[in-house]
Copies of this chain bind each other. A is one copy, B any other.
């Protein structure tokens, strides 16, 4: 069994919402479409993004049995008025269930995280309809994952026994990062790193029960590589950094990450730091900054024992999905 916990979709039937600045989908042909943001091309996509038959073919080719299918974060809409956020989520989530009709595609919903009550309500609606988890962005404007409203939503997920997948989005802009995909190459790892720091120092892991199952995309960003710097700072500048009850390393085991680090040495550091129970295959399928073939790094990493490899390829995901 092989489970890929990090894949995205865009529904081909995404409607024109008619709001200025809302992401739009321009269908270019039977097999191609373009995501537009403010009428500018954000990303060209192919039918592996929306057509279940094409996805299943790719999965067969890569030896993947099941995929967690999450929204493409540019569609989150957290920056919009709450009622628009609800509408976006409902449209996206209902279309996701059409894509994920078969047993191999596991739908994760999105929620209007700018409004915790509405987010909890949309989550419950989606669970009743067949969604198996939720993908959230790593921040809501200037609020990070320790924001009281976000924590309330996470608490709700813990109570409902729902897995949470955290994906970076809405990246810092500026001339130095708006070239060479630096927002993806540098911004995304830093964003996720920051959010894990906020979860720890904001005391979220101190307050939310350990039944919360939460996974961070792209290997948890740069967190694992910089744990030592974080730990040192927590001890030596406790006046400024000591927001958690215990030192940062205490909270390893409270979250998982995916394997999308593209390098055997980086995967090894992840497994050595976070533990072999807390890393799961995640490919970022079908996007070009993802791993292709999905799972190749885990399959080939010589340092993994057979047991560890099986955990990373499926068993950890099965536990995460519940």
CA distance A273 to B225 in the complex (A): 13
Please determine whether A240 and B176 come into contact, CB atoms closer than 8 angstroms: no
Known: A227-B263, A229-B289, A263-B227. A181 touches B237 (CB 8 A): yes
Q: Is A261 an interface residue (CB 8 A)?
A: yes
Using an 8 Å CB-CB cutoff, how does the interface string of A215-257 with B read, 1 for contact, 0 for none?
0001000101111111111001100110100000000000000
- Cβ contact within 8 Å between A261 and B225: yes
Q: Say yes or no for A172: interface residue by CB 8 A criterion.
A: yes
CB <8 Å contact, B222 and A175: no
Bound-state Cα–Cα, A194 to B69, Å? 30
Write the nearest CB–CB distance from A262 to chain B, whole angstroms: 3
Question: Does A27 reach chain B (CB closer than 8 Å)?
Answer: no
Complex interface: chain B residues within 8 A of A233 (CB): 181, 184-185, 288-289
Copies of this chain, count:
2
Which chain A residues in 238-294 approach chain B with CB under 8 Å?
Answer: 240-241, 243, 260-263, 265-266, 268-269, 272-273, 288-289, 291-292
Q: B189 to A142, Cβ gap below 8 A?
A: no
Tell yes or no: A101 within 8 A of B by CB: no
Q: Which residue of B lies closest to A244 (CB)?
A: B180
A185 touches B229 (CB 8 A): yes
| A174 CB within 8 Å of chain B | yes
A182 within 8 A of B: yes
Interface assignment of A197: CB less than 8 Å from any CB of chain B? yes
Closest to A174 in B: B142
Q: Chain B contacts of A241 at CB under 8 A?
A: 180-181, 185
- Determine the chain B residues whose CB is within 8 A of the CB of A289 once the complex forms: 229, 232-233, 236-237
A129 to B52, CA, bound (A): 70
Q: How far is the CB of A298 from chain B (nearest CB, A)?
A: 13
Candidate in A181, A225, A269, A291 with the most chain B CB atoms within 10 angstroms: A225
14 A-B pairs in the complex with CB atoms less than 8 angstroms apart = A139-B176, A180-B241, A181-B237, A181-B241, A182-B198, A186-B197, A189-B222, A189-B225, A189-B229, A225-B261, A225-B266, A229-B260, A229-B261, A232-B262
Known: A189-B225, A233-B289, A265-B273; 8 extra A-B contacts, CB below 8 A, are A180-B240, A185-B241, A186-B197, A190-B190, A222-B222, A225-B261, A226-B266, A229-B289
Residues of A within 8 A of B (CB): 139, 142, 144, 172, 174-177, 179-182, 184-187, 189-190, 193-194, 197-198, 201, 218, 222, 224-233, 236-237, 240-241, 243, 260-263, 265-266, 268-269, 272-273, 288-289, 291-292
